[in-house]
Amino acid sequence: MQAAPVRATAIPSFTDALRAVESLLMSSGQRTARRNAWTSVLEDRRRAKDRVEAQRVLDQTFTVSS
């Protein structure tokens, strides 16, 4: 007698669960707007980090050449 194969079902992550709830509660336009807003936040953070790095390089260059 052969044992039946065991199937593992992945437990959804907390993020997956939140996305599922969000998709039930919000229209697709609202989801798109929220996703676009978050993308903008991440891009602003990246630009701010780049500005800080550029300022640091300029400060070091000015200090060395003085």
Average pLDDT rounded to a whole number, residues 44-66 = 90
Task: Measure the CA angle with vertex 32, ends 42 and 45; round to 5°.
Answer: 5
pLDDT digits (tens, 9 = 90+) for 27-37: 778 888 989 99
Q: Could you give the CA distance from residue 11 to residue 13 in angstroms, rounded to a whole number? A: 6
CB 31 within 8 A of CB 22: yes
Q: Where are the domains of the chain?
A: 28-65
Average pLDDT rounded to a whole number, residues 2-30 = 77
Task: Inform me whether the pLDDT recorded for 20 exceeds 70.
Answer: yes
